[in-house]
Structures are given as structure tokens and as C-alpha cells.
Amino acid sequence: MSNGRINIMGPNTGNLYQLYDQPPLVNKSTPYRNAMNGNWETTKLSNAFFSAENVQIIQNAIKAGVYSRSNSQYVIGNQDEDTLKIIMRSTFLQYSSNQPINITSQIESLNSLVIGYAVPQILSEAEGYIKYKKDVSTLAVPHARPKSTYHSNTLFFKGFF
């Protein structure tokens, strides 16, 4: 039912009538080389954690986590890499043990912390967006008029004459 202000529940027709051509953007994962500038020294752990391959691993895990936690309802794309790298940097600065051994296990634990933070956040935002689309596309239906429970019979108007 589409009785709202605008209908955004249907397919996107904005792409059919674009004013300008837009070249396709390549959302390619780039390494985050200067993640530790100003705070700590760059190490093997930081280089491996902020590498493009690890960012893609986290992106895939976030997509799988949202898909599984939403009971196969939401299929999302890659998230904004700048935001993801901010979350990764914050997690690295708070929780990394910075040991020169067992780098793989340290990266796995840091990745699980990043994914554990990002998946519930993205899932709640996706649910909020779906509810927003529904609210904008439909109007609230008023309640039916109340019925009197005091009188069980139906009253009729009898004229004065």
C-alpha cells in the first residue's frame, strides 16, 4: 500500500533519468599506511592489520555477520573504508598487545573486535532505514470510531411532528 508522502519502497527509477553521466567508481581497498603516525611506531603487526587484504577480510566478515544475524534478510555491500579504518585504528590503539610473535592470532583477535563492534551497529542502522522507508511511504490509518458499550440497543431519531 503506497499512500505516503513519497514512495521509496519500490525500485529506484532515479538512475533512468540522470542529468549527467557518472563514471563507475572503483571501490578498491587501499592500504592505510599512516595509521600510526604521531602515536606509535609502525610494526609488522600494524602493517599487516591495516593492509588492504585485511580490510577486505573484515569487509567480507561484516557482510556475512549482518546476513546471518538478520536471519538472511539483509544483504549489504562494502562499507565506507574511511569509517572502517577509523574503527580499526581505534581498536588497534585500545586492544593491540604489540608483541612481535603470533602476529596472525593478534590480527584475528583484533579483527573479531572490529567485527563485533561493526555488525550490531550496521544491523541496527539497516533496520532503522527499512522502518524509515516504510514510514515515509505509508500514512497512518486513523482508528475506527468508538462504539458505546453502555447501550446495547440502537437509537433512532424520531421527528417532533
**What mean pLDDT comes out for the span 74-99?**
92
- Are residues 156 and 25 in contact, defined by beta-carbon separation less than 8 angstroms? no
Nearest to residue 49, comparing CAs of 118, 115, 99, 103?
Answer: 103
Predicted structure pTM score? 0.71
Percent of the chain surpassing pLDDT 90? 46
33 or 109: which carries more pLDDT confidence? 109
Task: Report residue 150's pLDDT band, with 50, 70 and 90 as the boundaries.
Answer: confident
Is residue 19 pLDDT above 50, yes or no? Answer: no
Report the domain count for the chain. 1
In terms of residue numbers, what domain contains 93? 44-127
Burial of 121: CB neighbours in 10 Å, binned 0-12, 13-18, 19+: middle
